[in-house]
Every structure is written in C-alpha cells, then in structure tokens.
C-alpha cells in the first residue's frame, strides 16, 4: 500500500500535538507547497483565537515539506526554523475555521532556505512574510 501523499506525517517527524497541518493540498517540488488545517477548540487552550506562534509553526512546517520535496532519502532530516526576517499578522484564526498555508521557495544556500509564506483563514489573508529554515540531521 502506497503512503497517502496528502498526509503530512509522510514528510514531517512531527506528531500531535506539535503537528499543525491536517493535509497537504499540493506540492510542486522545489517551488511551492500548500497545506491546510481545521482549528478545533482544544487547540486554542482556553482562549478565543489560535495562538500566532501556531500559525508561524504551520507556515514553517509547510516550508519544511517544500524544503525536502526534491530530495530522495530525506528520512532522518528535518527543517528547523532558523529565522523570521519578516512576518506580519492581519487576522486571527478561531475554532471552526480553516487555515491554508502556502510556502514558496525564494532562495537556497546549502542547508539554509528562505521561503515566502502566507496563511489565509477562510479566504482572508491572516499572515504573510518570510521564514528561513535549516535542514538538520538526526531525526528518525
């Protein structure tokens, strides 16, 4: 049986509660990736909105999928958030809403890569900017 290509655990070592993607919508290797997540009450930890840090991590996880989309044998490697050179927030996400994150590869320097990222909540822009990820060894 082939693994489900839309399952983020196929690409990432993260598992609940640290996995902030439900499904991968699309991946164009080396160019762009899109993933989505439906926010549930228990993830908001008693507050009315999903924490912005989770939104950043969701965009970073989408970027990590893109980072390894062209690599064979990526097992044992993961993308680590190295820098957030630019990021602005425009809208919060609330329980019951769906967040769609996109990552576009801007530039790569060896094991570092810069991504243009955005997150939309129910079709409205919630966050946009740039993230830098580093590819690291040691994850099985």
Question: 56: which strand partners?
Answer: none
Topology of domain 8-137, per CATH? Thiol Ester Dehydrase; Chain A (3.10.129)
**Burial of residue 75 (number of CB atoms within 10 Å: 0-12, 13-18, 19+):** exposed
Average pLDDT, the chain: 90
pTM, two decimals, is 0.92
- pLDDT for position 74: 53
* 55: pLDDT strictly greater than 90: yes
The string of pLDDT tens digits covering residues 85-119 is 999 999 999 999 999 999 999 999 999 999 999 99
* Section 23-33 average pLDDT: 96
* 45: pLDDT strictly greater than 80: no
How far, in Å, are 27, 29, 44, 92, 114 from residue 8 at the CA level? Answer: 11, 15, 21, 23, 20
- pLDDT for position 42: 82
Count CA atoms within 13 Å of residue 129 on its CB side: 16
């Amino acid at each position: 049986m082939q693994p489900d290509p839309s399952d983020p655990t196929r690409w990432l070592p993260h598992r609940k509660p640290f996995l902030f993607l439900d499904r991968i919508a699309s991946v164009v290797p080396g160019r762009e990736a899109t993933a989505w997540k439906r926010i549930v009450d228990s993830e908001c930890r008693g507050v009315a909105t999903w924490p912005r840090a989770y939104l950043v991590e969701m965009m970073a996880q989408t970027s990590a999928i893109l980072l390894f989309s062209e690599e064979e044998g990526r097992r044992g490697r993961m993308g680590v958030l190295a820098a957030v050179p630019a990021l602005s927030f425009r809208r919060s996400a609330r329980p019951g809403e769906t967040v769609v994150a996109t990552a576009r590869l801007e530039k790569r320097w060896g094991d570092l890569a810069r991504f243009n990222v955005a997150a939309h909540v129910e079709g409205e822009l919630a966050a946009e900017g740039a993230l830098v990820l580093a590819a690291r060894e040691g994850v099985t």
